[in-house]
Amino acid sequence: MSAGWSSPSAQERRAVLERTHSVAIVGASAKPSRASYFVASYLLSSSDLRVFFVNPVVDEILGHPVYPSLTALPEPPDLVDVFRRPSEVPAVLDEAIEVGAGSFWLQLGLWDEDVARRGTEAGLTVVMNRCLKIEHARFAGGLHLAGFDTGVITSRRR
Find the DSSP H helices in the chain.
Answer: 10-18, 35-46, 89-99, 113-121, 132-140
Tell me which residue of 20, 10, 2 sits closest to 124, measured CA to CA: 20
Tell me which residue of 122, 134, 121, 112 sits closest to 13, measured CA to CA: 134
Residue 16 buriedness (CB in 10 A; 0-12 / 13-18 / 19+): buried
Tens of each residue's pLDDT in the chain, 158 residues: 445 678 899 999 999 999 999 999 999 999 999 999 999 999 999 899 999 999 999 999 999 999 999 999 999 999 999 999 999 999 999 999 999 999 999 999 999 999 999 999 999 999 999 999 999 988 886 665 444 544 555 555 65
